[in-house]
């Protein structure tokens, strides 16, 4: 093993660190849908979760290991504190994977040692060594992270890394846990590690970083220039607090500027060979999927995947782009899977055309999923003449969204307008199959619908975010509603798409309530699960 691999390993932690942001909680089926898409995207390693954190996390890691951790598939990884029980849970959950990795960690900064771990440096050194060796007794592929490395005394960091590698770590990950470092400092830290850890040539250097100062991607690129060869990142940059380094930004920076980065990886500057294994045409779809399932909206001006990333508003820019795209565009939108093919199907299109187009868009649905999506497609096509790729994507994502189907919206009826009191009637099918109807008055039609739904479901909660976005332009566009609600300390998200935004609002709300309801039914209280996350 050497740090001089000639390409960059992409380690995706959307399902572990990404899932740690409030409200991004995913159920097992949703995690599996995302893991399959990450495999299609071509990530090298999927951190599928933190097996010890809860029975749900354990099952999710196990299922991903079984279904995605196949021959020629990505390495499936589980996080584990440097504690025997954590490592055992990770090893057990990862058993079905052909290529598996345990990622174990312990804090190394003085501030963490003093206030969080209450341990001396000598104790931490011994634990790191012992637990890496213990993890190694289960499998060969072991990653070790000295948590808060960016604020750790470099001399101590070198010692910990040396001991971890000697004990069997094949990847050593350098986390900027609190998003504190700057690019030149982070680059120098990687250089220092290469120069001062005697056995560093026996491990890959990885980096992990949070975006508290908005510097995570810049820090990683500087780390690459100094010898880091694995990047830990998430789709849309989601994650703890301000999030993690964003996969799409890193991959596209390495792709668009490969002439600049090539020499750092020992390649001729003009080499056209990709620096990562990522199929960039899957980026946009993956971003939308993660946003829909986690309820974490992508800001319009977000680099690469934001709605405005390829939109030119100014007249001068538009004029230039029409004459030659390269005047104002540094990359082609098709590279990330955006298509110019906007109008594809209509209400006379058959199942075959539907299936073929979905395949072209990269969706592989089971027969049952295809049937359900086709019924939805026909409903939408009845209301909307032209169904674009964006609409198809919204329909399919909505259908494969796996929120537990406990309550179901059967009817929504509203009466509103000027000089009228917004009134809503809703009928929900309960988990027991009973149909319950109630009505309410609200400040507007959505408020009235939500009040009526609350009267049926009867779980107190606070709506903290409500957003409607149009999938395409035009009066008959599909509206996508994303909501987040809070119950005690936990946030739940819901998402739905419909040509009727009041119906979409009702479905998104019930979708979130179903997640809340499901979490209340499990043994662990929601705040206990949150407390165990890293
Ligand atoms: O931010 C962090 O330090 C982490 C570690 C567990 C790698 O997420
Ligand atoms: Zn992290």
Question: CB–CB of 8/276 below 8 Å?
Answer: yes
pLDDT tens digit sequence for 377-388: 888 888 777 787
3-state secondary structure 431-483: CCCCEEEEEEECCCHHHHHHHHHHHHHCCCCEEEEEEEEECCCCCCCCEEEEE
Segment 476-490 shows an average pLDDT of 87
Q: Is 17 in the pocket of ligand 1 (CB under 6 A)?
A: yes
Beta-bridged to residue 46, according to DSSP, are 12, 76
Within the chain, which residue ranges are assigned CATH 3.30.160.270? 408-521
The CA-atom distances, in angstroms, between 16 and each of 34, 57, 216 are 12, 9, 17
Would the CB of 56 count as within 6 Å of ligand 1? Answer: no
Q: Does the structure show a pLDDT above 80 at 523?
A: no
Residue 240 CA: nearest ligand 1 atom is: 1
Return the best residue to mutate from 173, 177, 241, 243 for the ligand 1 pocket (most ligand atoms within 8 A of CB): 177
Q: Which of 63-67, 89-93, 298-302, 488-492 has the lowest mean pLDDT?
A: 488-492
pLDDT band at 329 (very low <50, low <70, confident <90, very high): confident
Ligand 1: centre distance to CA 175 (Å): 6
Angle at Cα 198 formed by Cα 196 and Cα 199, nearest 5°? 130
Nearest-CA residue for atom 8 of ligand 1: 17
Instruction: Point out the ligand 1 atom lying closest to the alpha carbon of residue 210.
Output: 1
Ligand 1: does its nearest atom lie under 6 Å from the Cβ of 534? Answer: yes
DSSP string, 9-36: EEEE-TTTTGGGSTT----HHHHHHHHH
- The position carrying tokens 């009505």 is 439
Q: Any idea which ligand is nearest the CA of 240?
A: 2
- HSE toward the beta carbon, residue 252, CA cutoff 13 A: 24
Cα–Cα dist 521/123, whole Å: 41
CB-based neighbours (< 5 A) of ligand 2, an ion: 17
- pLDDT the model gives residue 142: 98
Distance (Å, rounded) from C-alpha 288 to C-alpha 422? 33
Rounded Cα gap, residues 256 and 260, in angstroms: 9
List, for residues 163-220, the tens digit of each pLDDT value: 999 999 999 999 999 999 999 999 999 999 999 999 999 999 999 999 999 999 999 9
d(CA 54, CA 532): 8
Predicted confidence (pLDDT) per residue in 493-509, tens digit: 888 888 899 999 999 99
Q: Output the CA 177–ligand 1 centroid distance in Å.
A: 6
**Given 3.20.20.70, 3.30.1660.40, 3.50.50.60, 2.40.37.10, which CATH number is that of 9-261+268-294?**
3.20.20.70
Give ranges for CATH 3.20.20.70 in the chain.
Answer: 9-261+268-294
- For residues 256 and 376, give the distance between their C-alpha atoms in angstroms, rounded to a whole number: 38
Summary mean pLDDT of the chain:
90
* Element housing 146 (H / E): strand 142-147
Distance 239 CA to ligand 2 centre (A): 7
Q: Classify 173 as helix, strand or coil.
A: strand
Ligand 1 center to 47 CA (angstroms): 12
Residue located nearest, by CA, to atom 2 of ligand 1: 177
Q: Does domain 408-521 have CATH number 3.30.160.270?
A: yes
pLDDT by residue (tens digit) across 36-54? 999 999 999 999 999 999 9
Query: Which residues have a Cβ under 8 Å from the Cβ of 315 and sit 6 or more positions away?
Result: none
With cut-offs at 50, 70 and 90, classify the pLDDT of residue 259. very high
Confidence tier at 335 by pLDDT (50, 70, 90):
very high
Asked if 358 and 365 count as a contact pair (C-beta separation under 8 A), the reply is yes
The bound ligand whose nearest atom lies closest to the alpha carbon of 109 is: 1
Radius of gyration of the chain (CA): 24
Ligand 1 centroid vs 206 CA: distance in angstroms?
12
Q: Is the CB of 145 inside a 6 Å radius of any atom of ligand 1?
A: yes
Pick the closest to residue 391 from 402, 401, 381 (CA basis): 381
Spatial separation of the C-alpha atoms in residues 167 and 102, rounded to whole Å: 14
């Amino acid at each position: 093993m050497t740090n001089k691999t000639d390409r960059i390993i992409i380690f995706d932690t959307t399902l572990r660190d990404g899932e740690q942001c409030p409200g991004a909680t995913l159920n097992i089926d949703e995690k599996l849908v995302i893991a399959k898409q990450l495999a299609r995207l071509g990530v090298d390693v999927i951190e599928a979760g933190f097996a010890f954190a809860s029975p749900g996390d354990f099952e999710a890691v196990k299922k991903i290991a079984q279904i995605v951790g196949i021959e020629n598939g990505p390495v499936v990884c589980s996080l584990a504190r440097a504690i025997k029980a954590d490592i055992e849970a990770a090893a057990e959950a990862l058993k079905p994977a052909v290529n598996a990795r345990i990622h174990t960690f312990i804090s190394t900064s003085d501030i963490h040692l003093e206030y969080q771990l209450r341990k001396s440096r000598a104790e931490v050194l011994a634990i790191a060594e012992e637990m890496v060796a213990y993890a190694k007794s289960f499998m060969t592929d072991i990653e070790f992270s000295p948590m808060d490395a960016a604020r750790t005394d470099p001399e101590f960091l070198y010692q910990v890394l040396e001991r971890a590698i000697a004990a069997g770590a094949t990847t050593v990950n350098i986390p900027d846990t609190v998003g504190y470092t700057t690019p030149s400092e982070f680059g120098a830290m990687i250089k220092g590690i290469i120069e001062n850890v005697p056995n560093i040539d026996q491990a890959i250097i990885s980096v992990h970083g949070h975006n508290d100062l908005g510097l995570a991607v810049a820090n990683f690129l500087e780390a690459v220039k100094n010898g880091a060869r694995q990047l830990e990142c998430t789709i849309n940059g989601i994650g703890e607090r301000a999030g993690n380094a964003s996969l799409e930004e890193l991959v596209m920076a390495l792709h668009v500027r490969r002439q600049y980065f090539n020499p750092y990886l020992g390649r001729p500057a003009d080499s056209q060979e990709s620096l990562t294994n990522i199929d960039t045409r899957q980026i946009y779809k993956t971003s939308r999927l993660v946003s829909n399932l986690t309820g974490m909206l992508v800001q319009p001006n977000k680099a690469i995947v934001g709605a405005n990333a390829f939109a030119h508003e100014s007249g001068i820019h538009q004029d230039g782009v029409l004459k030659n795209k390269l005047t104002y565009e540094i990359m082609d939108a098709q590279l990330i899977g955006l298509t110019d093919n906007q109008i594809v199907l209509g209400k006379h299109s058959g199942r075959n055309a539907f299936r073929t187009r979905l395949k072209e868009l990269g969706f592989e649905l089971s027969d049952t999923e295809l049937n359900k999506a086709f019924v939805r497609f026909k409903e939408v096509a009845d209301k909307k003449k032209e169904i674009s790729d964006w609409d198809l994507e919204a329909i399919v994502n909505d259908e494969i969204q796996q929120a537990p189907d406990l309550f179901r919206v059967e009817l929504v009826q509203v009466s509103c307008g000027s000089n009228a009191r917004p009134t809503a009637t809703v009928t929900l099918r309960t988990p027991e199959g009973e149909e319950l109807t109630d009505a309410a008055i609200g400040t507007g039609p959505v408020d009235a619908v939500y009040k009526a739904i609350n009267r049926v479901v009867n779980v107190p909660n606070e709506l903290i975010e409500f957003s409607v976005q149009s999938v395409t332009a035009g009066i008959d566009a599909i509206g996508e509603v994303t909501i987040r609600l809070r119950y005690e300390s936990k946030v739940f998200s819901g998402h739905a798409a419909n040509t009727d935004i009041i119906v979409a609002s009702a479905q998104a709300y019930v979708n979130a309530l179903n997640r809340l309801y499901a979490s209340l039914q499990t043994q662990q209280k929601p705040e206990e699960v949150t407390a165990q996350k890293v």
